[in-house]
Chain A
């Protein structure tokens, strides 16, 4: 390898250098760096940086993946001590079968909340709280986005900025009043407080779909209008299919946001039977039993698994649309 580089060197310069400098020059030459008057080799330099880049990226990827793997391994540990010592696989797994902690997470929650099958119930609640408001909300937001992007009506800009200014109000500052409001309407014993507000759409969702719709040609809509299609029909037959990437992405992002929501259900849902999965996990964590942590990890795996599967299936859509619209939730 060194010979290849040496042939490209002028011989006179090499003579001037002493032994150490020559060794350094040869060493840097391997990686494509030109020192002491040697020409740098672009191809080798790129290869060198590629290798370093890969090593760093792999290290980073390991840091991202490993804790999740650890969580899976820890959920199979037989005691708190084993859990703490777990590195890649627990040194002791439960006597009653590998998935005993998953069983225990179900029974432990049932006992705390005094309900039957409360973990499955909480998964169902989470699905209700995330699927219903998000589905309706994204469609409502898409309709608003369509109006903001493609229709021309009086007060459009006012309506848009009126809605957009609402993002300046943080949720923690209005949550107490909202709680009192729902409490006065008696909504805190039923899941309506978690469902109804989401059904009215979200301005950020509308904003990002609007950004996407701006990129679509208006001529299609005009053609449809001339052919006699009403706005309602244009929306359902043209806008929804055309803006599908943006709508899907916003749907998945909002779904994930609702699935992982913790503060709002903690505040608004006072009835154990209607609590979502996130509250179930923190309830199991609060038990403080001996050898409780593996059970908590098992419940955590149950909470993370569906969302990771969803992400794995739709990762191209999600990442692509985040890059496209610049939203992040």
Chain B
């Protein structure tokens, strides 16, 4: 790629020189330009190579793998990549829409059941954003120690997800602190709603700090003079917040929403640590009810050893996340037009 570029640049420069009727074979500017091209590509080379190999080629391999029936046995991965599933290339994709009857057939209920629980965990995002907005408004007021509060609220965000999840599962456990305080059963033997609400509380608690920091940055960036002008015109604090500050921090809110939806669709560690890994057919009911989609992908890979199947599920996840992101951007552009 680099060589191509250089030749293109030098070639075009030569042509330009020739057309002017000047004959020196090499000019200083030409050389500087070539140097800049060379170094520019040299600086980005590793990143481009890494992205190509570990994202794009991986993705292509993932798509190819999803058409096979590779299970890790019988032949190497490279041999398997070229083959297709004996029942047709799209077997694993068709399976996702076939319900399982008496232990045979597709896995429609698992795929869409786990997808449903993943989407249920997304409820934490609006809750977290409203809470974060509330706290960041309190922090961006003219008060002392707001920096200290920001740091304290950020602590759960930096803590290890594994430790945090295991800690909350102890707090929610039978006889644990929160379960006793609210006199409710959260984990074993509880309703699915109560079980899932644990994960939502956990993720909201963990994600609050990061969102607050971004919102405070957005609120600090609001143009002070607009607020003062509104204040002089007799607007009250609520009107100033809703009509002047909100539109200005809208980009931040949108950014947080998009990134949290992308991240939320990939939730795995918290439910896996609280309810256990998807153990295939023999797994417990609590696990089956609450495993998110990524947990199901991992379960199909790890417990069922259906590697190609897991890969196909992954592709579906990528498509769903892509569509969700597109929908959000479409809604955003419609708002801009109004």
Contacts and interface: CB of A to CB of B under 8 A. Distances in A.
Interface of A: 49-50, 53-54, 56-57, 60-61, 63-65, 67-68, 70-71, 74, 81, 83-87, 140-141, 143-144, 146-148, 151-156, 159, 162-163, 166, 168-181, 183-184, 197, 199-201, 203, 206, 230-232, 235, 256, 259-260, 262-263, 266-267, 277-278, 281-282, 285, 293, 296-297, 300-301, 303-304, 307-308, 311, 315, 318-319, 322-324, 326, 328
Contacts of A323: 213-214, 216-217, 220
14 contacts: A64-B156, A68-B167, A152-B40, A153-B39, A154-B5, A159-B41, A174-B62, A184-B78, A206-B47, A278-B161, A282-B273, A303-B162, A304-B159, A322-B217
Given A285-B166, A297-B170, A319-B150, A172 B297 contact: yes
B153 A151 contact: no
Contacts of A281: 160, 162-163, 166
Contact of B77 (A140, A152, A184, A235): A184
Interface stretch (B93-101, B138-146, B184-192): B138-146
A76 to B, nearest CB: 14
B298 A64 contact: no
A201 B311 CA distance: 25
Which of A60, A83, A183, A232 gathers most chain B CB within 10 Å? A60
Interface in B27-77: 35-37, 39-41, 43-44, 46-51, 53-56, 58-59, 61-62, 65, 70, 72, 76-77
A70 B40 contact: no
Interface stretch (B17-25, B120-128, B259-267): B259-267
A300 B163 contact: yes
Contact of B151 (A174, A301, A315): A315
A180 B269 contact: no
A177 B78 CA distance: 11
Contacts of A266: 298
A172 B160 contact: no
Contacts of A180: 61, 65, 70, 72, 77, 307
B77 A262 contact: no
A65 B62 contact: no
Interface of B: 5, 8-9, 35-37, 39-41, 43-44, 46-51, 53-56, 58-59, 61-62, 65, 70, 72, 76-78, 135, 138-139, 141, 143, 147, 149-156, 158-164, 166-168, 170-171, 173, 175-177, 205, 208-211, 213-214, 216-217, 220, 252, 255-256, 259, 262, 265-266, 268-269, 273, 293-294, 297-298, 301, 307, 310-311, 314-315, 317-318, 321-322, 325
Which of A87, A170, A307 gathers most chain B CB within 10 Å? A170
Contact of A176 (B39, B209, B265, B311): B311
Contact of A70 (B44, B167, B268): B167
B43 A282 contact: no
A172 B301 CA distance: 11
Nearest to A83: B170
Nearest to B149: A57
Given A156-B40, A170-B318, A176-B310, A68 B78 contact: no
A182 B30 CA distance: 44
A200 B273 contact: no
A281 B321 CA distance: 30
Nearest to B276: A286
Nearest to B45: A144
B281 to A, nearest CB: 20
Contacts of B76: 184
B162 A177 contact: no
B157 to A, nearest CB: 8
A162 B5 CA distance: 17
Contacts of B156: 64, 67-68
Contacts of B56: 166, 169
B51 A153 contact: no
Given A153-B40, A166-B55, A60 B167 contact: no
A171 B266 contact: yes
B52 to A, nearest CB: 8
Contacts of B155: 64-65, 68, 308, 311
